[in-house]
């Protein structure tokens, strides 16, 4: 059960010791005497304006009265301006939602110490659609979720207003309520009624609802003999379904579809293309203004390299998608690895609207145990897209999706530090030019404490944390060397009967006595690097952080600084381990600034991260050493584990899904 700690003096005193984290970054003390807030709008009773007004009445502590002004001609879309003059702060927008965003911006400035000097500010979103994808199943389980059960399904009781409020406070304006591996029942009447009730609770905060759909629904649910997208009865079924949904949810956003991927049904089951499938759904949604987000996460073996397959499958369809289709592409060509080059599809589809999908949930980055702040990783991808992406007048789809890290745990994200990734996703979706460190600082001040002695070292930790994780997990372009199933720990030797080759680590690292890495060069390899624009091929080809992603190189290969690859690999793992140890020490020293409950909970995680970094390093170096047959370089610490022990130890997925690091082996 989530508790809302009202800021009465008594409870506040108690909160210094016990704080379950449920308030996220929205912890401003409530005013004893409400601030004066006037609404200047045609429709003063608007539900969104009521939320904005209540937030300001409770939260604004300046002396001035605040005016919420909605009028045409103000920054368009959901942008806002703030003007401060003597006695009055005006928050203006063309829409009630813009006024709400402006209100949260003002309160954020107040909480981060920027309100005093504020005279004028204005902002508008870089993306029109800023959407969370929840991989929630109707039975309440969350796929790749590390924060308890679904807040939407299979239980009830979650504080959806607090969820929507948190989303709105950082500009997130949409949510897909269910897993991309979608059950047909999601489109049944009972589920649609539930979805409508959820939509009603999110609506005042401007969070629009979308659903993932199973492509075979007309068969599974509608009793039709086929789900062929060119079949008239199938098309009619989808049109009726769309009409039914919009009758219940007038502002419904549309569908998200995972088709012909990992066993899910799709148009190719009928000899049709992804475009045929997407366009059929687009046709059903178009009269209502809905959108189809069609995922490009496919890897049918048309090409011998999984990293090349989505491009091979989708590029021939460029220009054949209906205008209300967006092709949703994971940030990298394989699967949310700790570091990937950008997906070439994001750079190459010039006549199709595309959007990037990133994972906020840390499937491959330490689940709810490791502290990994993802803003720097997302910005890395974003920067490449900006520099090398196609130039289009409309800027592409102006949309971005994040796979949510949210569940019904009291602190929403399983780990208190992981809340920062939900926060950063929203902030960057709104404004990709924001600086990672600035986002980290802003989040730390609102979530924990404003003391410089806390904010400075913790922001430093956060901006370094992604690179550190890459270093102790899979540096220099190594990828997908995770334990099977749960993706938490290392298992570069993993071999499973009956598994596809491209689900197994050896497919990706290709270690042998000659060297290691996946040859994706044009000359001798899979040619996947050829899918990038020329200038980017040169850049990626020269980036040693991606060396083993693109090339198979000898253990004695000379790196630019003169070290051999083997030495560089060992040193990089060592650096990662040392960093993880320093993170734990940093948090240990932060005790005076953080309430007991959150400090203790997070301390256990930092200690666990430092320990598991060793496990990663030992497992990978000892395993690769069986191929390199080279000693660890001078000064590289002796392993803490023996390879034979690590290989015998099979991690239990369920143990790792338990949110309590004390329960881990
Ligand atoms: C993989 C996840 C799997 C998802 C799949 C997807 O392991 O659970 O279903 O991606 O994105 O990363 O469809």
For residue 261, the ligand 1 atom closest to its alpha carbon is 13
Tell me what the mean pLDDT of segment 317-323 comes to: 97
Report strand pairing: 515-516 vs 553-554.
antiparallel
For residue 359, the ligand 1 atom closest to its alpha carbon is 12
Of 88-92, 147-151, 246-250, 500-504, minimum mean pLDDT range: 500-504
Indicate which residue of 244, 262, 350, 435 is catalytic. 262
Better-scored residue on pLDDT, 499 or 537: 537
Evaluate if residue 31 carries a pLDDT over 60.
Answer: yes
For residue 458, the model assigns a pLDDT of 98
Evaluate if residue 55 carries a pLDDT over 50.
Answer: yes
For residue 397, the model assigns a pLDDT of 76
Confidence grade of residue 654 (pLDDT, cut at 50, 70, 90): very low
User: Is 264 labeled as catalytic in the residue annotation?
Assistant: no
pLDDT in tens, 546-583: 999 999 999 999 999 999 999 999 999 999 999 999 99
The one-character DSSP state at 92 is E
User: Is 335 labeled as catalytic in the residue annotation?
Assistant: yes
Evaluate if residue 105 carries a pLDDT over 90.
Answer: yes
For residue 658, the model assigns a pLDDT of 42
For residue 1, the model assigns a pLDDT of 36
Q: Is 140 exposed, middle or buried (0-12, 13-18, 19+ CB in 10 A)?
A: middle
Better-scored residue on pLDDT, 336 or 73: 336
Tell me how far apart the terminal alpha carbons of the chain are, to the nearest angstrom: 27
Distance (angstroms) between ligand 1 centre and the Cα of 298 equals 11
Instruction: List phi, psi (to 5°) of 445.
Output: -60, -40
User: Is 645 labeled as catalytic in the residue annotation?
Assistant: no
Evaluate if residue 663 carries a pLDDT over 60.
Answer: no
Rounded Cα distance, 145 and 404, in Å: 8
Tell me what the mean pLDDT of segment 60-65 comes to: 94
Distance (angstroms) between ligand 1 centre and the Cα of 142 equals 12
Q: Ligand 1 pocket test: pick from 335, 356, 479, 486 the residue with the most ligand atoms within 8 Å of its Cβ.
A: 335
Q: Ligand 1 pocket test: pick from 134, 136, 144 the residue with the most ligand atoms within 8 Å of its Cβ.
A: 144
For residue 181, the ligand 1 atom closest to its alpha carbon is 9
Please, what is the average pLDDT of the chain?
A: 93
Rounded Cα distance, 223 and 184, in Å: 12
To the nearest 10 degrees (0 to 180), the angle between helices 452-473 and 436-447 is: 120
Report strand pairing: 65-70 vs 208-213.
unpaired
Evaluate if residue 310 carries a pLDDT over 90.
Answer: yes
Evaluate if residue 655 carries a pLDDT over 50.
Answer: no
Indicate which residue of 312, 363, 441, 519 is catalytic. 363
For residue 320, the model assigns a pLDDT of 97
Judge contact between 547 and 474, C-beta under 8 A: no
Residue ranges of E strands in 305-394: 325-330, 354-359
Tell me what the mean pLDDT of segment 432-453 comes to: 97
Residue 96 parent element (H or E): helix 96-111
- In the chain, what percentage of residues exceed pLDDT 70? 94
Confidence grade of residue 483 (pLDDT, cut at 50, 70, 90): confident
Residue 198 CB neighbour total at 10 angstroms: 22
Rounded Cα distance, 334 and 346, in Å: 13
Tokens at 574, concatenated: 């060592």
Tell me what the mean pLDDT of segment 280-286 comes to: 98
- In the chain, what percentage of residues exceed pLDDT 90? 86
Better-scored residue on pLDDT, 358 or 8: 358
Confidence grade of residue 391 (pLDDT, cut at 50, 70, 90): low
Distance (angstroms) between ligand 1 centre and the Cα of 232 equals 32
For residue 42, the model assigns a pLDDT of 93
Evaluate if residue 652 carries a pLDDT over 80.
Answer: no
Tell me what the mean pLDDT of segment 36-59 comes to: 96
Tell me what the mean pLDDT of segment 475-489 comes to: 91
pLDDT in tens, 207-246: 999 999 999 999 999 999 999 999 999 999 999 999 999 9
Evaluate if residue 464 carries a pLDDT over 60.
Answer: yes
Evaluate if residue 176 carries a pLDDT over 80.
Answer: yes
| Pocket lining for ligand 1, CB < 6 angstroms | 143-144, 180-181, 258, 297, 335-336, 363
Evaluate if residue 8 carries a pLDDT over 60.
Answer: no
Distance (angstroms) between ligand 1 centre and the Cα of 63 equals 50
For residue 311, the model assigns a pLDDT of 96
């Amino acid at each position: 059960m989530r508790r809302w700690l009202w800021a009465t003096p008594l409870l506040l005193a108690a909160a210094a010791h016990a704080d379950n984290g449920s308030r996220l970054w929205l912890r401003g003390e409530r005013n004893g005497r409400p601030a004066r807030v006037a609404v200047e709008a045609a429709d003063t009773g608007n539900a969104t304006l009521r939320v904005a007004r209540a937030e300001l009445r409770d939260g604004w502590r300046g002396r001035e009265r605040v005016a919420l002004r909605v009028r045409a001609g103000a920054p368009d879309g959901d942008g806002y301006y703030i003007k401060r003059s003597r006695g009055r702060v005006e928050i203006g927008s063309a829409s009630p939602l813009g006024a709400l965003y402006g209100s949260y911006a003002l309160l954020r400035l107040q909480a981060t110490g920027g309100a005093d000097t504020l005279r004028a500010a204005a902002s508008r979103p870089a993306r029109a659609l800023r959407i969370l994808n929840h991989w929630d199943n109707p039975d309440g389980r969350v796929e790749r979720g590390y924060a308890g059960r679904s807040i939407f399904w299979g239980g009830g009781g979650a504080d959806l207003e607090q969820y929507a409020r948190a989303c709105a406070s950082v500009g997130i304006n949409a949510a897909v309520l269910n897993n991309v591996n979608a059950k047909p029942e999601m489109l049944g009447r009972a589920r649609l009624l539930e979805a409508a009730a959820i939509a009603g609770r999110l609506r005042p905060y401007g969070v629009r609802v979308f659903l993932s759909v199973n492509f075979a629904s007309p068969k599974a649910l509608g009793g039709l003999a086929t789900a062929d997208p060119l079949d008239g009865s199938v098309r009619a079924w989808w049109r009726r379904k769309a009409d039914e949904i919009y009758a219940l949810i007038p502002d419904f956003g549309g569908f998200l579809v995972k088709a012909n991927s990992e066993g899910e049904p799709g148009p190719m089951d009928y000899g049709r293309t992804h475009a045929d499938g997407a366009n059929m759904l687009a046709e059903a949604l178009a009269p209502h203004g809905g959108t189809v987000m069609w995922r490009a996460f496919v890897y049918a073996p048309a090409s011998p390299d999984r990293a090349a397959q989505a491009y091979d499958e989708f590029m021939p369809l460029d220009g054949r998608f209906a205008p209300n289709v967006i092709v949703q592409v994971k940030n990298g060509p394989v699967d949310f690895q700790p570091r990937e080059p950008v997906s070439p599809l994001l750079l190459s589809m010039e006549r199709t609207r595309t959007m990037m999908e990133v994972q906020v949930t840390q499937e491959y980055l330490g689940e709810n145990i490791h502290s990994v702040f993802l803003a720097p990783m997302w910005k890395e991808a974003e920067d490449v897209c900006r520099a090398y992406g196609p130039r289009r007048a409309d800027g592409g789809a102006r949309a971005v999706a994040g796979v949510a890290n949210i569940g019904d745990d009291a602190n929403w994200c399983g780990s208190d530090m992981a809340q920062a990734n939900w926060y950063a996703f929203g902030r960057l979706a709104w404004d990709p030019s924001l600086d990672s460190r600035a986002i980290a600082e802003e989040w730390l001040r609102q979530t924990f404490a404003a003391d410089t002695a806390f904010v400075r070292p913790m922001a430093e930790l956060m901006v370094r944390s992604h690179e550190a994780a890459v270093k102790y997990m899979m540096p220099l372009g190594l990828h997908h060397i995770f334990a099977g199933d749960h993706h938490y720990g290392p298992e570069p030797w993993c071999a499973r009967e009956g598994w596809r080759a491209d689900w197994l680590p050896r497919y990706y690292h290709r270690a042998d006595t000659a060297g290691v890495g996946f040859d994706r060069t044009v000359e001798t390899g899979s040619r996947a690097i050829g899918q990038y624009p020329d200038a980017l091929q040169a850049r990626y080809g020269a980036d040693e952080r991606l060396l083993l992603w693109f090339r198979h190189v000898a253990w004695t290969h000379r790196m630019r600084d003169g070290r051999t690859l083997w030495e560089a690999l060992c040193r990089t793992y060592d650096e990662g381990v040392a960093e993880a140890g320093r993170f734990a020490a940093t948090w240990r020293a932060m005790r005076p600034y953080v309430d007991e409950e959150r400090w203790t909970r997070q301390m256990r995680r930092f200690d666990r991260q430092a320990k598991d970094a060793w496990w990663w390093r030992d497992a990978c170096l000892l395993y690769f050493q069986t191929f390199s047959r080279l000693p660890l370089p001078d000064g590289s610490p002796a392993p803490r584990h023996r390879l034979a022990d690590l290989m015998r130890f099979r991690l239990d997925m369920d143990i790792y899904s338990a949110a309590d690091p004390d329960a881990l082996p």
